[in-house]
Chain A
Amino acid sequence: MRLNIKRENKKEKRKPSPGEKMNKNMLGLGYGVVILFMCLMVYMVYFLTVQKEEIIGNPYNNPRLDKFSGQVERGRILGNDRTVLAETRTGENGEEIRVYPFGELFAHGVGYSTRGKTGLEALANFYLLSSHINPLSQAMARLSGRKSPGDWVVTTLDLKLQQAAAEALGDQRGAVVVMEPSTGRILAMVSKPGFDPNGVEADWESLVSEDGGQARLLNRAAQGLYPPGSVFKIVTVLAYIRQHPDDYDQFHFDCDGHFERGDYTIQCYHGNAHGSQDIFQAFANSCNGAFAAMGLELDPGRLLDTATGLLFGQDLPVDMAYTGSRFSMEREAGDWDIIQTSIGQGLTQMTPLHNALITAAIANNGVLMRPCLLDHVENGAGDVVKDFSPEVWGELMTPREAEILKTMMKQVVTEGTGSALRDADYTAAGKTGSAQFETGKDSHAWFTGFAPAEDPRIVVTVIVEEGGSGGQTAAPVARNIFDALLSTP
């Protein structure tokens, strides 16, 4: 009898009632939900500790960040030698004025912060409005109604090179980008015609209403789109090297100044006949006929893939406001489209900045460093708060391809269209371009290159609007900039 009862008890333990079973199920589901919420909260912690800074620093968030300006005095923007490029001064009546000591010189790079924000004022807004002085001083400042000093942003901009670039360009419309290929640092960025950021508020009406290609507020270096002309031959020749990795140097073309294909005819610059050309000579002399022939010989899609790999039609790895390049080419494009694209005419358009990035990758053995304008952020006491170390973005081409392109670009200077740099104290390399954009107007003059050729320290990209020949107008501008850094007096 007793045994029986025990057995029954055991049986009950093994088989719980439906109610108990359901309770177990409910608790199991409850645990599942709790775990899900844990994940959500861990994600929130991650968002607020790791991701936050990058996200709220987005220029689209500036209206929110401006709310901080009630408690923080906007910090300074400094050059790479700590020259003050922008600072906030408090007037006699307690009103704050943003002062740009160099006026027009850094107008586009540093930008302005009245009437919206541009340039570094927009890019570094978050840092300029954050204060990292010690919390006690912050609390004291708040209690006494003073503002805490905002962090200082030390940029990569170099006063000497910026001045050299602005002087070299003179009164011509155009833009210059100077970069350090091994780090991606942007050392100078000039766009002309410029404006005085100190007077943006006062001159606003005339700045926005002016017509006729002035567009002084536009940062031509990063946002101006131009047909690349012959500088695009870097892309065409790279595509050709990729198709003929071992026998690209067998290329040959006889130039009589014209190239005909069916009903289409193109001519070399001013109808010059270059005669017998190998691939190096064709590149150095910028022979349109040779490149048209080269383009037509490429496999379908090869040029498109190479251009895409060099970021045509892609997003650029750039934080500042920029315009993406325009590039449109069908995989099965017709002959005329191929010819036009191969010599950089037609529908392709790019910015000087994009051009500088491609050149920097060539100078840096094929590796593109992420371009940057910010070097580090420090608090008002000079302690570094955040350091921006150089970052590799990716490989645009193999080291061998970069080496071949370097050799070709050196020959542009020694034997071809880059003669303006031939007798410099250093060896330079580059590519010129004269891009036609409207019949009856002079072409835009391009030069993009680097120096010293054997160990590139800087990349310089120049565009002079309606400047005519790249070799005659843009290359001398580049030379002045190279000279400022490399020439021994």
Chain B
Amino acid sequence: MADFIADISRYPLTLLIALYTYWNFRYFGVREEKRRRICGRQAFLMYLLHFLAYGVMFLQTQDWKLPVFYVVQAVFFWCYFACFRRFYPNRSHILVNNVCMLLCVGFIILARLSFEKAVRQFIIVVFSGAVTMVIPFIMDHIWQLGKIPWLYAILGLGLLLAVYSRGETSYGAQISLTVAGLSMQPSEFVKISFVFFTAAMFYRSTSRRQVLVTTAVAALHVLILAASKDLGSALIFFITYVFLLFAATSNWKYLGLGIGGACLASAASWAMFSHVRVRVMAWLDPWADIDNRGYQIAQSLFAIGTGGWFGMGLFKGLPNRIPVVEKDFVFSAISEELGALFAVCVLLICLGCFLQFLMIGCRMEAVFYKLIALGLGTQYIVQVFLTAGGATKFIPSTGVTLPFVSYGGSSILSTFILFSVIQGLYILKENQEEEERYEAEY
């Protein structure tokens, strides 16, 4: 019976997330009053999906820890919504929804992969969610954020250098630093300071001299990351910078130079780094060395292929056969057990977030804020693309995580910061417009 329910439940689960995704895009095409209603429905769908998935997992495992964990999570979601309702009446409902939906998918798949890791993830989520709640408030009250580019640069470069000199190595890359017993990945946070630095620099001026200086500092970021062999992050920084430079200067030459530079850099990294060669070879033909280099990507393809469109059902597949599944290959695990359609919906939700970031950026008047929205959006979406593309063998695997879904403390906290900053921009704008309406009325 439990098997039958797991089997059947694949269809409503897919339907729920598909509806949610539909509303996520329908949102763009409707008026303000209707948007509220859409967001209300989305939250309902999210709760339903959460309940259904945990119900299936409980029936499969008969483990009472799962329903308890479910209730704790549901309470967290409720509190998260309530805090926003209480403190930020002018919030973007859809962004809050999307944060919760992605977290919900993450909680489902992590609890399936490893209950212990899901609990640790949950604790980090509660902490990060609470801490970053204050960010929109800060952004509404401190106006000097665009005036201190060098502080961001020194902070970012300092952290990266610390990792370079004292970091620990994992999977060929030097990315983590242990401070007071806690292991963290500073590059996740430097991403944000990097966007702030670039935005603040271009906010001041886009003269040739300013562009040169900014490019030099940005290149320094990328080079230190490359030297630490964290090439996934280096790539994300690089693309973000090129996007920001183009948007700020409207100069197509810079975009062309950026693409040319990327080609040169890929060739150089192929020549310099053996683990790049390994990954590219594994991408070109994973079957040639399926026992070693091709193992991870082959297992990932087996998982996605065997799962098919609707998945095997929760606890019905073997996602744990993929090495590092809970981080770099969480997309494959989702696809295997919840189905490729479900996984595609997750991608579309991420893409929807990115588009919402851009819309918010377009509404902002200050160039600094526009660039922040674009920069953070690019960081986010490039990461999503790299992880999903890597898991499906569309591009070589770069070893980055799916924000809000993959396991990992630094990733969660930095993504919370990222979304809170964007939320802050939205609230800033709404508050301002509200004031203007108020002034116009009286």
Q: Cβ of B302 and Cβ of A22 under 8 Å apart?
A: no
Known interface pairs A43-B394, A48-B308; A36-B385 also in contact (CB < 8 Å): yes
What residue of chain A has the Cβ atom nearest to residue B294's Cβ? A60
- Listed stretches B77-85, B176-184, B224-232, B353-361; interface member: B353-361
Identify whether the interface residues of A are mostly helix, strand, loop, or mixed.
helix
Q: In the bound complex, what is the Cα–Cα distance between A56 and B301 (angstroms)?
A: 8
Q: Cβ of A67 and Cβ of B318 under 8 Å apart?
A: yes
**A-B contacts at CB below 8 angstroms, number:** 111
| A and B contact pairs by CB, cutoff 8 A, 7 listed | A22-B370, A25-B246, A26-B361, A39-B394, A55-B302, A60-B290, A64-B317
B: number of interface residues (CB 8 Å): 48
Q: Cβ of A56 and Cβ of B305 under 8 Å apart?
A: yes
Say whether B250 faces chain A, with CB atoms less than 8 Å apart. yes
In this complex, the member of B303, B351, B371 whose beta carbon has the largest number of chain A beta carbons within 10 angstroms is B351
List chain A residues, Cβ under 8 A from B303. Answer: 64
B64, chain A: closest CB distance, angstroms: 25
Q: In the bound complex, what is the Cα–Cα distance between A99 and B126 (angstroms)?
A: 56
Q: Cβ of B362 and Cβ of A27 under 8 Å apart?
A: yes
Give which listed residue, A36, A37, A67, contacts B316 with CB less than 8 A. A67
Q: In the bound complex, what is the Cα–Cα distance between A323 and B3 (angstroms)?
A: 41
What residue of chain B has the Cβ atom nearest to residue A25's Cβ? B247
Q: Cβ of A27 and Cβ of B306 under 8 Å apart?
A: no
For chain A residues 16-30, which have a beta carbon within 8 Å of chain B? 18-19, 21-23, 25-27, 29-30
Known pairs A56-B302, A56-B306, A64-B302 / 12 extra A-B pairs, C-beta < 8 Å: A22-B371, A26-B370, A29-B243, A34-B351, A37-B385, A43-B392, A48-B304, A61-B306, A64-B303, A67-B317, A142-B4, A143-B4
What residue of chain A has the Cβ atom nearest to residue B1's Cβ? A145
B356, chain A: closest CB distance, angstroms: 11
Q: Cβ of B7 and Cβ of A30 under 8 Å apart?
A: no
Q: Cβ of B7 and Cβ of A29 under 8 Å apart?
A: no
List chain A residues, Cβ under 8 A from B248. Answer: 22
Q: Cβ of B388 and Cβ of A40 under 8 Å apart?
A: yes
Known interface pairs A29-B374, A33-B381; A23-B290 also in contact (CB < 8 Å): no
Q: In the bound complex, what is the Cα–Cα distance between A480 and B389 (angstroms)?
A: 56
Q: Cβ of A65 and Cβ of B306 under 8 Å apart?
A: yes
What residue of chain B has the Cβ atom nearest to residue A21's Cβ? B250
Q: In the bound complex, what is the Cα–Cα distance between A70 and B370 (angstroms)?
A: 55
Interface residues on A, range: 35 or more
Q: In the bound complex, what is the Cα–Cα distance between A58 and B309 (angstroms)?
A: 19
List chain A residues, Cβ under 8 A from B361. Answer: 23, 26
Q: Cβ of B321 and Cβ of A63 under 8 Å apart?
A: yes
Identify whether the interface residues of B are mostly helix, strand, loop, or mixed.
helix
Give which listed residue, A25, A67, A142, contacts B250 with CB less than 8 A. A25
For chain B residues 289-313, which have a beta carbon within 8 Å of chain A? 290, 298, 301-306, 308-309, 312
For chain A residues 37-75, which have a beta carbon within 8 Å of chain B? 37, 39-41, 43-44, 47-48, 51-52, 55-56, 58, 60-61, 63-65, 67, 70-71
List chain B residues, Cβ under 8 A from A36. Answer: 385
Q: In the bound complex, what is the Cα–Cα distance between A64 and B312 (angstroms)?
A: 10
List chain A residues, Cβ under 8 A from B127. Answer: none
Give which listed residue, A21, A41, A51, A143, contacts B347 with CB less than 8 A. A41
Say whether B287 faces chain A, with CB atoms less than 8 Å apart. yes
For chain A residues 365-415, which have a beta carbon within 8 Å of chain B? none
Say whether B367 faces chain A, with CB atoms less than 8 Å apart. yes
Give which listed residue, B247, B302, B309, contacts A26 with CB less than 8 A. B247
Residues of A within 8 A of B (CB): 18-19, 21-23, 25-27, 29-30, 33-34, 36-37, 39-41, 43-44, 47-48, 51-52, 55-56, 58, 60-61, 63-65, 67, 70-71, 142-143
Q: In the bound complex, what is the Cα–Cα distance between A26 and B316 (angstroms)?
A: 43
Give which listed residue, A34, A40, A64, A142, contacts B394 with CB less than 8 A. A40
List chain B residues, Cβ under 8 A from A33. Answer: 351, 354, 378, 381, 385
Say whether B344 faces chain A, with CB atoms less than 8 Å apart. yes
List chain B residues, Cβ under 8 A from A19. Answer: 365, 367, 370
Q: Cβ of B367 and Cβ of A55 under 8 Å apart?
A: no
Q: Cβ of A30 and Cβ of B355 under 8 Å apart?
A: yes
A425, chain B: closest CB distance, angstroms: 46
A199, chain B: closest CB distance, angstroms: 29
Q: Cβ of A44 and Cβ of B344 under 8 Å apart?
A: yes
What residue of chain A has the Cβ atom nearest to residue B388's Cβ? A40
Interface string of B52-76 (1 = CB under 8 A from A): 0000000000000000000000000
A184, chain B: closest CB distance, angstroms: 21
A408, chain B: closest CB distance, angstroms: 37
List chain B residues, Cβ under 8 A from A51. Answer: 305
Say whether B160 faces chain A, with CB atoms less than 8 Å apart. no
Say whether B340 faces chain A, with CB atoms less than 8 Å apart. yes
Q: Cβ of B318 and Cβ of A63 under 8 Å apart?
A: yes
Q: Cβ of A44 and Cβ of B312 under 8 Å apart?
A: no
What residue of chain A has the Cβ atom nearest to residue B303's Cβ? A64
Known interface pairs A22-B247, A55-B301; A30-B318 also in contact (CB < 8 Å): no
A321, chain B: closest CB distance, angstroms: 13
Interface string of B255-293 (1 = CB under 8 A from A): 000000000000000000000000000000001001000
What residue of chain B has the Cβ atom nearest to residue A30's Cβ? B358
A132, chain B: closest CB distance, angstroms: 14
Q: Cβ of B362 and Cβ of A52 under 8 Å apart?
A: no
Q: Cβ of B362 and Cβ of A48 under 8 Å apart?
A: no
